[in-house]
Amino acid sequence: MTKISLTQAGKRFNKDWIFSSLDFNFNQGEHYAIIGNNGSGKSTLLQIIAGYGTLTKGTVQWEGHDATTIFQDISFAAPYLELVEEFTTLEQFNFHTQFKPLQKQLTVEQLIELIGLKKAADKQIRYFSSGMKQRLKLALAIFSDSPLLLLDEPCSNLDQEGYELYHHLIQQYALHKLIIVGSNDKEEYKFCSQHLNLMDYKSKSNEVTS
């Protein structure tokens, strides 16, 4: 997959258009930030790009894929996505690799140590803090061997050390991917050279009546 295209894309909840008349291309190897005020549709658009949701109007096209197969090339991290709470860290990684292989640079054990969870390798995720869970979600997404990385508010629940870890993982292991970050926090997307501001598509949404 090298390109995702949105054409006249619009999303409506009840009678309210979240965004509309959106034309945009996401190209392989580039890094994008989807920005905009709370409620502007950042998470909604990311979920549509991931194939989790549908547009009300317009189209989203994944080069070489459709909505039933795009998951093969996508990894996604977001605070609202759940882990298997009964699993340990090691079990979660092993379960994950049954569906999506990891990049080859590190073993699972080395990766767990890298994200600061070595002492929690055999601890059930239900006993993790929110910050530990977010580190694990980021690692699963970033280290997946997939060309598209979607990140929704990736540093939610992270402290300053967590922010630094996030940027280290991106710089060392993800810059070759097509990355799309949904966020209002500039620190989360400072490596993104392309910005898509959904506020630019809010006034247009009021003009759509069908």
**Residue 1 pLDDT more than 80?**
no
The mean-pLDDT minimum among 18-22, 135-139, 202-206 falls in: 202-206
Residue 132 domain-assigned (yes or no)? yes
Lowest-confidence pick of 2-6, 118-122, 144-148, 175-179:
2-6
What's residue 67's pLDDT? 79
Residue 52 lies in a domain: no
What pLDDT score was predicted for residue 178?
A: 96
**What is the pLDDT at residue 102?**
94
Residue pair 140/77 in contact by the 8 Å Cβ criterion: yes
Residue 205 has pLDDT above 90, yes or no: no
Residue 196 lies in a domain: no
Q: Tell me what pLDDT residue 105 has.
A: 85
Alpha carbon distance 111, 97 (integer Å):
13
**Residue 155 resides in a domain:** yes
- The stretch 19-40 carries a mean pLDDT of 95
> Which band of pLDDT confidence, cut at 50, 70 and 90, is reported for residue 203?
low
Does the pLDDT of residue 6 top 80, yes or no? yes
pLDDT over 90 (residue 68): no
What would the DSSP string read from start to end of 76-104? EE-TTSPP-TTSBHHHHHHHHHTTSPBPS
- Predicted pLDDT of residue 15: 87
56 part of a folded domain: no
Placement of tokens 């580190």 in the chain: 135
pLDDT confidence of residue 183: 97
Count of structural domains within the chain: 1
- What pLDDT score was predicted for residue 196? 97
Residue 202 in domain: no
Average pLDDT over residues 42-49: 96
For residue 204, name the pLDDT band (cuts at 50, 70, 90). Answer: very low
**Within a domain: residue 43?**
yes
140: domain CATH number is 3.40.50.300
Q: What is the CA radius of gyration of the chain?
A: 17
pLDDT digits (tens, 9 = 90+) for 106-133: 899 999 999 999 999 999 999 999 999 9
| % the chain with pLDDT above 90 | 84
What range defines the domain where residue 180 resides? Answer: 28-47+68-191
Average pLDDT over the chain reads 93
Q: How confident is the model at residue 210 (pLDDT cuts 50, 70, 90)?
A: very low
- The token duo for 111 is 């990766």
In a domain, 19, yes or no: no
Average pLDDT over residues 35-54: 94
